[in-house]
Structure 1
Amino acid sequence: MAVDLNMIAKENDIKYFLISFVDLFGVLRAKLVPASAISGMQKGGAGFAGFAAWLDMTPAHPDMFAIPDPSSLIQLPWKRDVGWLAGDLWMEGKPVGASPRIALKRQIEKATNKGLQMKTGVECEYFLVNVDGTAIADQHDTRDKPCYDQSALMRQYDIVSEICDHMLALGWGPYQNDHEDANGQFEMNWEFDDCLKTADRHTFFKFMVKSVAENHGLRAT
């Protein structure tokens, strides 16, 4: 049975959806769609000018459309009235070859045809820096070998724990967090899964980390 995003919005008090895609530089692009318009977007997709993102296109190319994948839906833990959706890019009735998600799905199809299932896990790392990006957020994080520094980790407890709490609530199975090799650098791990699900979660994780850091008056790389 097809998933009805309009019904999901009503059941979960979602007012807006972010229909997103990743370009070739890993930048997350999106349109903010009111729930009242999601039925049409689920069928026809949200329109984008491909040349305006890094997708090896020119203004001569027609618009492309991001068809949201309902199975990727994540309700923002810090803004529950917004739902995030990964989109598959289509242009003139064909999938866009330059779309990283489309490229991954093609590899999954090849593996499936050989009787294989692709699963992946990631070790996500990021830096916490000040608002203007000129220095790391913690001026006391100065050790020559800062990896696993407990004090430096706990000075950023509010941010790290909030991100981990969100992953716990989303059911990702996070299992460890630590300070990494460089000053101001942190790593967070969660359980491996189907490679498309992991890729979507990794994409959302980067957005989530940046959002939480900004809510605390910092920036994350």
Structure 2
Amino acid sequence: MTKDLEKYAADQGIKYFMVSYTDLFGAQRAKMVPAQAIADMQQDGAGFAGFATWLDVTPAHPDMLALPDPEAVIRLPWKPEVAWVPANCMMNDAPLEQAPRNVLLRQIEAAAEQGLSVKTGVEAEFFLLDPNGLEIADNLDTAEKPCYDQQAIMRRYDVIAEISDYMIELGWGPYQSDHEDANGQFEMNWGFDDALATADKHSFFKFMVKSVAEKHGLRATFMPKPIKGLTGNGCHAHISVWDKDGKKNLFTDGTHDLGMSDIGWHFIGGMMKHASALAAITNPTVNSYKRINAPRTTSGATWAPNTVTWTGNNRTHMIRVPGAGRFELRLPDGAANPYLMQAVIIAAGVSGISSKATPGKRLDIDMYQDGHTVKNAPRLPLNLLDALRYFDKDKVLKSALGEEFSAAFVKLKRREWDSFVSHFSRWERDNTLDI
């Protein structure tokens, strides 16, 4: 039943709503709306100038109206008089095709037309840095292998426990938090859900982590590779496909290898087939490729793939099948747009089901030690430009995601790449000044 946001505000003591949308680059944009004005916003939307954010529109375009989704409203646990509500972007009385949440909604609808619903969970990793974002905030966090460091996580107990408490309060079902593989890095896990709900929670989680960190005088970052030599921020996705009512896991088949059904293998086959192209979305920044193409880190492993391979319960591959009924995609990083990441997973996987794609040969080797022995597996893109080229050539994936979105994404991301390559770095001076 659709919530009346005005009544919700009265019942919950809400003074303000943050009507929020996520642009093509993953930046969250919002307007703060007084509760007494929310009824009009629920009806007509909050007005934005789309050109002022990372969307492919001009200053001459009409207002973009962000219609709040009342079913997804979240009261801020750290500021209870405020509620965050994700919005669907409209322009000229129609959905703005390139807006990321709209892209995901179309993928969910396309899957539903085939009797499928996709459920996902994400493993969001982040660093806690000093307020300037230059150094790890904890100067005692120096272990060579800091993963699961008991003392280090307790030194950040106030931050991690506060966020976990909030997730408990919100009913997300958080089940573990840990110090991750890099110094200053943490991961927090909560229960899986329908793809849209997971995307909304993922988006809110990033907002929440940054807000709580700032409250404690720290800076949180989900940047894929913020510290040279250390493990980067991944955002591993766990994926399963259910019937349209979400009651039966269609990936589960105890008679098949690893307990994965034919539908599951075809879905994975779609991921494998489109991997190099979907990297443009799961790894959408210049910095992303310093994570998936990194040399060995100080801890001994990057924990990131650089080759399109799959396996059983083995974390050195792009796709891991840890048990019956689900698989893990280890490619995405912390910069991935929460909505576009879910959308491209569904688009690639459902296309695999439709075409009965196969994932190819299972490899059970340690890719970090013996990956050089694999001769026919594609390498993942070496940089953002290569990923964009793969994406631009993938007609199936572009069509599934929508031509308007695809054109806008490639255009703006190519502009970002051009900005990067026109930048003169200290490395260039250090290595070529005396030539």
TM-score normalised per structure 2: 0.50
Deviations 1:68-113 (A, max 9, x none): 0001110000100001000000000111111110000000000000
In structure 2, stretches of 5+ residues that fail to align are 222-435
Match of 1:78 in 2: 78
Report how far residue 171 of structure 1 moved. Answer: 0.2
Task: Give the whole-Å Cα distance in 2 for the aligned partners of 1:167 and 1:2.
Answer: 23
Task: Give the whole-Å Cα distance in 1 for the aligned partners of 2:186 and 2:8.
Answer: 35
3-state SS of the aligned residue for 2:116? coil
* 1:15-34 matches, cutoff 5 A: 15-34=15-34
Give the structure with the larger helix fraction. Answer: 2
Matched, 1:147 2:155: no
Matched, 1:195 2:190: no
The answer to whether the Cα contact below 8 Å between 2:176 and 2:190 also exists between their aligned partners in 1 is yes
Deviations 1:1-21 (A, max 9, x none): 542111110111000000000
Match of 2:37 in 1: 37
AA aligned to 2:116 is: L
Instruction: Count residues with an aligned counterpart.
Output: 221
The answer to whether the Cα contact below 8 Å between 2:2 and 2:70 also exists between their aligned partners in 1 is no
Deviations 1:153-205 (A, max 9, x none): 11101100000000000000000001111111100000100100000000000
Report how far residue 56 of structure 1 moved. Answer: 1.5
3-state SS of the aligned residue for 1:138? coil
Report how far residue 118 of structure 1 moved. Answer: 1.0
Match of 2:210 in 1: 210
Match of 2:408 in 1: none
Match of 1:178 in 2: 178
3-state SS of the aligned residue for 1:33? strand
Cα root mean square deviation, aligned: 0.8
* 1:54-203 matches, cutoff 5 A: 54-203=54-203
Task: Give the whole-Å Cα distance in 1 for the aligned partners of 2:105 and 2:4.
Answer: 22
Task: Give the whole-Å Cα distance in 1 for the aligned partners of 2:33 and 2:113.
Answer: 36
3-state SS of the aligned residue for 1:118? strand
Report how far residue 65 of structure 1 moved. Answer: 0.5
The answer to whether the Cα contact below 8 Å between 2:20 and 2:28 also exists between their aligned partners in 1 is yes
Task: Give the whole-Å Cα distance in 2 for the aligned partners of 1:66 and 1:72.
Answer: 14
Task: Give the whole-Å Cα distance in 1 for the aligned partners of 2:193 and 2:167.
Answer: 14
The answer to whether the Cα contact below 8 Å between 2:129 and 2:219 also exists between their aligned partners in 1 is yes
Deviations 1:18-63 (A, max 9, x none): 0000011111100000001000000000000001000112212211
Match of 2:9 in 1: 9
TM-score normalised per structure 1: 0.98
3-state SS of the aligned residue for 2:107? helix
Report how far residue 149 of structure 1 moved. Answer: 1.0
AA aligned to 2:214 is: E
- Give every structure 1 segment of 4 or more consecutive aligned residues whose post-TM-superposition deviation is greater than 2 Å: none
Kindly name which structure, 1 or 2, has the bigger radius of gyration based on alpha carbons: 2
Report how far residue 138 of structure 1 moved. Answer: 0.3
3-state SS of the aligned residue for 1:127? strand
Task: Give the whole-Å Cα distance in 2 for the aligned partners of 1:219 and 1:198.
Answer: 24
How many percent identity over aligned positions? Answer: 62
Task: Give the whole-Å Cα distance in 2 for the aligned partners of 1:144 and 1:101.
Answer: 40
Task: Give the whole-Å Cα distance in 2 for the aligned partners of 1:36 and 1:65.
Answer: 19
Task: Give the whole-Å Cα distance in 2 for the aligned partners of 1:8 and 1:177.
Answer: 32
Task: Give the whole-Å Cα distance in 2 for the aligned partners of 1:29 and 1:98.
Answer: 15
AA aligned to 1:157 is: Y
3-state SS of the aligned residue for 1:141? coil
Match of 1:220 in 2: 220
Task: Give the whole-Å Cα distance in 1 for the aligned partners of 2:118 and 2:2.
Answer: 24
Task: Give the whole-Å Cα distance in 1 for the aligned partners of 2:23 and 2:34.
Answer: 23
AA aligned to 2:56 is: D
Report how far residue 145 of structure 1 moved. Answer: 1.5
In structure 1, stretches of 5+ residues that fail to align are none
3-state SS of the aligned residue for 1:117? strand
